[in-house]
Amino acid sequence: MWLDLGAHMVDQLMLLFGPVASVFCTQDFTEPDLDVATLTECLLTFRSGVTGLIETGALTPIERPRWLVRGTEACYEKYGSDPQEARLREGIVGWPEVDPGPVGRLARVDDGSAAQVPTVPGDWGAFYGNVRDAIRGEAHVAVKPTECRAALEVLLAAEQSARAGEVVHL
């Protein structure tokens, strides 16, 4: 889960908040036959001063928010996964027109008002189409190798932190 979903979450947080300054991570290995963590909790401190917590786990029976963002002016919460995941298991690639996925909720601090925020459609096919076009020399890659490397450094620093039980500075 950490090197799969965790990689996407690290990437998304870095796109929102910039480079990571430090990482503190814990990992549990509750299944003796597995050599991968069944639960990872990773606290990222960004150079921008923002902190983020990523949790990935294979043994979490209670649904938790996929996104929970708390700021000084508002809080955003969203449950559920990308609706493209269920479609992909059915062999269908693309965004569903009938079920656009779970909505988020944005609550303002000043007046306590809350509003639903629809899911913005994603397009995994466009990502892989871009990779294909870049290989053919017809486009530049949308996700730069330097971005991949930066996210990978965070993932590896998190595992180092979990092994050592201490904060790792990047």
Please report, for the domain that includes residue 160, its CATH number: 3.30.360.10
Most confident of 76-80, 99-103, 156-160: 156-160
* pLDDT, tens only, 40-62: 999 999 999 999 999 988 776 77
Total count of domains within the chain: 1
In order of 31, 33, 62, 87, the CA distances from 37 in angstroms are 8, 11, 18, 27
What is the average pLDDT value for the chain, to the nearest integer? 89
Average pLDDT over residues 22-45: 87
> pLDDT tens-digit profile of 81-130?
777 777 788 887 777 676 677 889 999 999 989 999 988 888 888 889 99
- pLDDT tens digits, residue range 12-24? 999 999 999 999 9
Q: Please, what sign has the CA dihedral across residues 27, 31, 35, 36?
A: negative
What pLDDT sits at residue 163? 93
- Which range of residues forms the domain containing residue 103? 2-169
- Asked if 106 and 117 count as a contact pair (C-beta separation under 8 A), the reply is yes
Provide mean pLDDT across the span 22-46: 88
pTM of the model: 0.82
* C-alpha torsion sign, points 36, 128, 147, 54: negative
**Token output for 94:** 């693309």
Check if the beta carbon of residue 44 is closer than 8 Å to that of residue 13: yes
Neighbour order of strands in the sheet with 104-108 = 67-70, 74-78, 104-108, 114-117
**Cβ atoms of residues 45 and 51 within 8 Å:** yes
Specify the amino acid at residue 150.
Answer: A
